[in-house]
Amino acid sequence: MPISSLKYLAKISYNDVTFITETVDVFIENTPKEINKLHIAANNQQLEEVSNAAHALKSSLKVMDMQNAYQLCLILENEAKEGGSINIIVEHIELIEKECKQAYKELKAALNTL
């Protein structure tokens, strides 16, 4: 089962291939950096930073139609905001990272079909 799609971007842009391609490129280039920020903040137990970084990442996941990762990110944001367990937080970051890595492959493949 694919965990991402270009549905959202296609709807927003009425299938504007250039826009879709450029936006996916930004996502693939930028998301690893955002996830890295999450790891660093979690390692340093800076929960407010974790919450902010999760919030910032959330919109991107929605745009790439990553429903599951989006929900995980939402939980992560709230968990960090409320000072939750660091183990659970790290676990959530890893799950999000895993989903993102899969999404990069899926989205690249989807771009080839446009």
Which residues of the chain form contacts with another protein (CB under 8 A)? 7-9, 11-13, 16, 19, 22-23, 26-27, 30-31, 52, 55-60, 62-64, 74
Residue number with CB closer to another protein (52 or 68): 52
Give least dist CB 107 to another protein, A. 11
* Exposure letters 32-69 (e unless 16+ CB within 10 A, then b): eebbebbeebbeeeebebbbbbbbebbebbebbbbeeb
Nearer to another protein, 38 or 57 (CB): 57
Rounded to a whole number of angstroms, the minimum distance from the CB of residue 85 to another protein is 23
Give least dist CB 83 to another protein, A: 18
Cβ atoms of residues 40 and 102 within 8 Å: no
Nearer to another protein, 42 or 77 (CB): 77
- The answer to whether the CB of 98 falls within 8 A of the CB of 111 is no
CB of 11 to another protein, least distance (A): 5
Q: Could you give the 3-state DSSP secondary structure of residue 16?
A: coil
The residues, ordered by sequence, that sit 6+ positions from 85 with a Cβ below 8 Å of its Cβ are 79
